[in-house]
Structure 1
Amino acid sequence: MPATRRIIFAVFEDFQLLDMSGPAAVFHAASEFCNEPPYEIVLASSKGGPVRSSCGAEVGTDALTTFTIGKQDTVVTVGGTEMGLRKAISEGELPDWLAKSAPTAERIGSVCVGTFLLGTAGLIDGKRVCSHWRSCDLVAEMFPNAHVDADALYTRDGSLWSSAGVSAGIDMALAMIEADHGPDLKSRVARGLVVYAHRPGLQSQFSEVLEAQSRRDGRFSDLLDWIGLNLNIPMRADDLAERAGMSHRSFLRHFQQSVGMTPAKYIEQLRLARARELLASGIAVKAVPAHIGYRSEAAFRTAFERRFGLAPLEFSKLHGRERQTL
């Protein structure tokens, strides 16, 4: 196990608590599966001391000036209320510290509208970034040299990471764990936190699969969780019906009503979303089908191109920047 990495969450008055606590819980959970703690979590603010979140809860922090940033450090800025964010930007201490810290940190990232702090620090020019969907146009307007991806859940451009609104920070944290320690630890952390499925950063903030998950009722919750964790094995409708305790016809009818698509379509979309994640992480195209339950590379290529409009190899080349430091 490599040396313990330090995760520094930079917060300010009226910050969004979940932007910090969600990713922090992910990094903390990784310790349950390792002999030595892989991450140390600390909170920082301009002055140090207690900092009040937008929901009223306070957290203890250390002053920014007490930190010497090194190659084992990840700095994450969070979002918050418009008033709190404007104040943090206008005071200047946090953006200045971010600008000084970025060159020596292992990576630097943002959750939700924390992207504005990175932009003010001059860190997103020429970089691919994302933010909460309501703020993407403003990010693009204020920082015209940044490449704003309004659809992405999270992005990685070299050592710069960013994520969309609130819960996407959890997905970004899981992706960081995978980059540090591999997919096995990431998967165990996701299961331990009962995260339904780690969504790839290239997945849209809105998708048919997410819509299906939001529509599902308790009848298929366990089955959908099982599907998401077993995409590498063959799945037949008869077997799924048996697992759900239904006849074949009844299962197909009720699944369509509950989830909004057929079992086959749902499974295919999950598999292809996972394929995008694997390709972005640098796995060879020929190795992907076995990870997601396709019997042949040809069938996988056909399905991938039909779904996304380009071949897996083209996708892998296009998103090479997400692979370069894995």
Structure 2
Amino acid sequence: MTTETTTTQEVSQAITAEQAQWVAQVFSASAGAIEQVIHGKRRVIELVLASALAGGHVLLEDVPGTGKTALARAIGQVIQGTSSRIQFTPDLLPGDVTGISVFDQRAGVFEFHAGPIFANVVLADEINRASPKTQSALLEVMEEGHVTVDGKTHDAGSPFLVIATQNPVEQAGTYRLPEAQLDRFMIKTSIGYPDDTAMARILQGERGPATVIKPVVTTEMITQAQELVQRVHVSPIVADYAVRIVEATRRATDVRLGASVRGALALVKLASAWAAANARHYVIPDDIRDLALATLAHRIVLEPEAEFDGVTAIDVVGRILLDIPVPQENGTA
């Protein structure tokens, strides 16, 4: 194959400016509809939606009553998809999540009864309250989009988004998520309490968590947007900037384990979705910089001495972003 032919194919596969504009319209319409329920949290809504477009999953670490369940339900309603909620408890079994095979005496065969993980948007509430064995039931489906039960593979469908939550305050009776599990989440963020204006709107009953939102897009449109996001242009300069940030997390003081290769891939994928959501068919260095905290901080393991001194992973990533200069090139193709 000649170089000219290869170049032609690469150009034809790249997302166009018009396609990026369409993704931005889908993104904006979805975020605007969800904001009718989750007041004053546009940034968090956009981060979660961008993760969905990038094919990732979200970990929300927040206190009770901030709208985590409402957010997951709202996303399912907006995309005209299915949503489910799994309340993780110490006695929850892996089969309660993925489903089980039940023997049908009349037919003489085993039938698979799908668990709540088979939905477009799955809320894994208080995931750290379940045992590590149950938590591991999510590993395969989050990474590969399917579940294997009794040697048979069952597709989870598309789009597929897991929003897991954990309470950062009450740790009694919880199991800390292992690094392998944390690494499966594209981002870790929090909703937080609403500001005074948003709180007043909630109390006045303008919109509440039980509000039913009319669909503004379809699951097919989200799937198409996901495919387009994969074709957003990432220039070598932008990729190198992401690599330098990830490498710096591994060499930083106070760090025992830095961000993984999966973390670097997640950062670039999320930046691609962020670019398309902003009607660009290419990633710019500022996309990488804006998303590094949400994407990398939860993948970093600190030295025990650093944790004792009050150092956080967010502090480490913040220092790295200050130390590494942002490339001046805009990342266009």
TM over 0.5: no
TM-score normalised by the chain length of structure 2: 0.26
Ranked by relative contact order (alpha carbons within 8 Å, sequence separation 6 or more), the top structure is 2
